[in-house]
Chain A
Amino acid sequence: MMRVVYAIVLIAGIAAVVADHLASPSSARAVSPEDFAGACAPCGAPCPSVQKKS
């Protein structure tokens, strides 16, 4: 039973990733939120000093 679950999850997962990739824009290179201006954390959260000013 666990093997069946894994097979379903694996096939569905790869299919979902491929479908998402083909249906979405992709950039020149892979990025993380830290690449964007103003990011103060890996998730892209702004710095406290910026938040206080705004």
Chain B
Amino acid sequence: MTTIAVTPAAELPRRDWPFLIAAVLGTAVLVALVWLDGQPASAALILGGFALGIAFLKSEFSFTAAWRRFLVNGEAGGLIGALLLIAVAATVIVPVAALAPGFGGAIAPIGPSLIVGAFVFGIGMQLANGCGSGTLYTAGGGSGRMLITLALFIVGSVIGSLHLPAFLALGGIDPVLASNYFGAWGGLAVTLASIAIAAGLIAAIAKARGANFKPRPLILVGAIAIGLLSIAVFLAGHHPWSVTFGFTVWGAKLAALAGYDFSHAEFWQWPGPKRALAASILSDTSSLTNLGMILGAMAAAAAAKPFARTAWPPLPSLLAAAIGGLLMGWGARIGFGCNIGAFVGGVASGSLHGWIWFAAALAGCAIGIRLRPLFGLSRE
């Protein structure tokens, strides 16, 4: 009789070499491709994304869980940490975007599209258990559940691209940018003041509810690291770090490969999207950082423990992941981005739309949290 030896989980090697090597090799291949094209800035974006994946995974930096803890318990440490991240990024983004030719901040029109999109995104992020950056680093880090979220995020964002022109036709006002009214340095002062006021309000709410508002040391370190990496991505890409446009391009390219004709879709006739659909994925800034982030998170996860060794979650949880991804994809396209592109990028650019996005998404999160128990997920 043949016996098969099964290695108990406790004896599995600490470092998962196959996935660690694969993640590093994959990154090297992508960097080599853009380097051979004479694009060192693109290589920097991939590596910046790689570092962001590590930073997010190692600091367990989560917008979604932080917002949920604040809404359910009043615990504000994670939310204050996010504001610190934005403040760090703003110190460079606001003045450079205002003063340096070729650089720009994250701006967006203010109207029904922004509010509806952000609200729907907020519902989705609580069902999915992750936002744009959260989906990237947890999927990259070995969560099969988040692979499903990522796939439906991509689908939802393509659908959103087809609906966005109709939402824009509902009306709105042009972007409101602090540096346009107060100059580069006045704009920075106003931006930092707005972040400080928001932090003060959030801390006051936490205190009133008897909850903590001080970020844990790991969150502080993560916030500063991610803020600095956001600056690096901005300097390499000339615009603030964004996530969801990359998903839209990936989905549209797959749909085009399957025979879908985008020539009648107004979104895909705008110069930027039209060019992105025709050109290489590695010519799109958000795709470069997205790919780097997935691979960086994979490398960090595989370097610490056996990779993707957990069981698949129950079906209701997977359903929540799928619905959450779809809502986030659609909401991000309609609302001009996710936590990173709209909230972090918008506020760090001194754009009013960032704060409006935040408020609408937070309201959506309150609904999403109430829906979580329907899928067997806890409200906390």
**Chain A residues proximal to chain B, CB less than 8 Å:** 1-3, 5-7, 9-10, 14, 17-18, 20-21, 24-49, 51
Whether the Cβ atoms of A40 and B39 lie closer than 8 Å is no
Residues in A neighbouring B309, C-beta threshold 8 A: 2-3
What CA separation (Å) do A36 and B239 show in the bound complex?
12
- Which residue of A5, A35, A42, A51 is within 8 Å of B336 (Cβ)? A42
What CA separation (Å) do A50 and B352 show in the bound complex?
19
- Which residue of A7, A26, A45 is within 8 Å of B279 (Cβ)? A26
**Chain B residues proximal to chain A, CB less than 8 Å:** 19, 22, 26, 29-30, 33-34, 37-39, 41-42, 45, 104, 106-109, 111, 142, 144, 147, 161, 164, 168-169, 171-175, 237-239, 242, 245, 248, 253, 267, 270-273, 275-276, 278-286, 288, 291, 298, 307-312, 333, 336-337, 341-342, 345
Q: B112 to nearest A CB, angstroms? A: 11
Question: What residue in chain B is nearest A32 (Cβ atoms)?
Answer: B285
Question: What residue in chain A is nearest B38 (Cβ atoms)?
Answer: A28
Identify the 3 closest CB pairs spanning chains A and B, nearest first: A33-B272, A44-B272, A36-B271
Whether the Cβ atoms of A27 and B239 lie closer than 8 Å is no
Whether the Cβ atoms of B245 and A42 lie closer than 8 Å is yes
Residues in B neighbouring A9, C-beta threshold 8 A: 147
Residues in A neighbouring B276, C-beta threshold 8 A: 33
Residues in A neighbouring B307, C-beta threshold 8 A: 3, 6
Q: B362 to nearest A CB, angstroms? A: 20
What CA separation (Å) do A18 and B279 show in the bound complex?
13
Whether the Cβ atoms of A45 and B168 lie closer than 8 Å is yes
- Which residue of A10, A20, A40, A44 is within 8 Å of B253 (Cβ)? A20
Whether the Cβ atoms of A17 and B30 lie closer than 8 Å is yes
- Which residue of B142, B175, B273, B284 is within 8 Å of A6 (Cβ)? B142
Whether the Cβ atoms of B281 and A17 lie closer than 8 Å is yes
Q: What are 6 A-B pairs with beta-carbon distances under 8 A? A: A20-B281, A27-B275, A32-B286, A34-B107, A43-B248, A47-B175
Residues in B neighbouring A29, C-beta threshold 8 A: 39, 41-42
Whether the Cβ atoms of A24 and B271 lie closer than 8 Å is no
Whether the Cβ atoms of B172 and A48 lie closer than 8 Å is yes
New A-B pairs, 4, CB < 8 Å, besides A20-B253, A24-B279: A2-B144, A31-B272, A32-B286, A33-B276
Question: What residue in chain B is nearest A3 (Cβ atoms)?
Answer: B308
Whether the Cβ atoms of B275 and A21 lie closer than 8 Å is no
Q: A17 to nearest B CB, angstroms? A: 6
Residues in A neighbouring B275, C-beta threshold 8 A: 27, 31, 33, 36
